[in-house]
Amino acid sequence: RDKIESVNIDKNADACMPKIETKVLEMSTVNPSESKAVIENDEQKKEQHPDEEGQSLGGKQEEQKTIIFAIPKKPPKTAYEFNRVFKSLIKDTESLQKYMYDVVTPDDYKRVFSKSASLEAETLSDIISAMKNIQDISSEHLCEKKTLDIMNSIATSPGFEFALMFLSKGEKRDLEFIFESLEKKSIDTSSARVVYKLGKN
């Protein structure tokens, strides 16, 4: 009985080429011309029989779920705590609205951002963007007076003037949108417009 020994072909020079292996087959025929070797590609094996590592990764991906953060019942004690909760809720406008308007009071904003380095430019930008989105989709359910109170409270921070300098044109348009929404509800924003360096409407 003739034997066709296995041949391993491994082209390290080309990482894109698959490694090809041939099985050892015992041939019953004597005529070498009639002998055939069955070549199986490793990549085909992997598709039919995924290895344990692949199964493990797939399982982990299937287990991934959207994490829903609970709204705290108490206001933040520091700017760091405010930012941490704020960022965890930023993709859920309804929950973020409850946190910013119901949990955190205007006085809390004053206290949290009372230190000179507590209100960063990024934080101010994020708050403006969030309030614009809240006004845009939930204006019928908002207390407009509280919106203005929050804006005024944030402006009392020692770092407010510096953070205001870094607002982009788009963020200033968001500010304008917020004030115009308040003015449509007969809220006087003239003083706040001066503080936020916006012209009169």
Radius of gyration of the chain (CA): 32
Helices (H), 34-92: 42-48, 52-63, 79-89
pLDDT at 77 over 90: yes
pLDDT of residue 86: 96
Token pair listed for 154: 């944030």
pLDDT of residue 68: 62
pTM for the model? 0.64
Residue 128 has a CB neighbour count (10 Å cut-off) of 22
Q: Quote the mean pLDDT of the chain.
A: 75
Task: Specify burial of residue 125 (Cβ count, 10 A radius: 0-12, 13-18, 19+).
Answer: middle
Output b/e per residue, 89-102; b: 16+ Cβ within 10 A. Answer: beeeeebbbebbbe
Distances in Å between the alpha carbon of 179 and those of 82, 91, 96? Answer: 24, 23, 20
pLDDT-wise least confident of 28-37, 106-115, 116-125, 165-174: 28-37
Confidence class of residue 22 from pLDDT cuts 50, 70 and 90? very low
Token pair listed for 34: 């009639």
What percent of the chain lies above the pLDDT cut of 70? 62
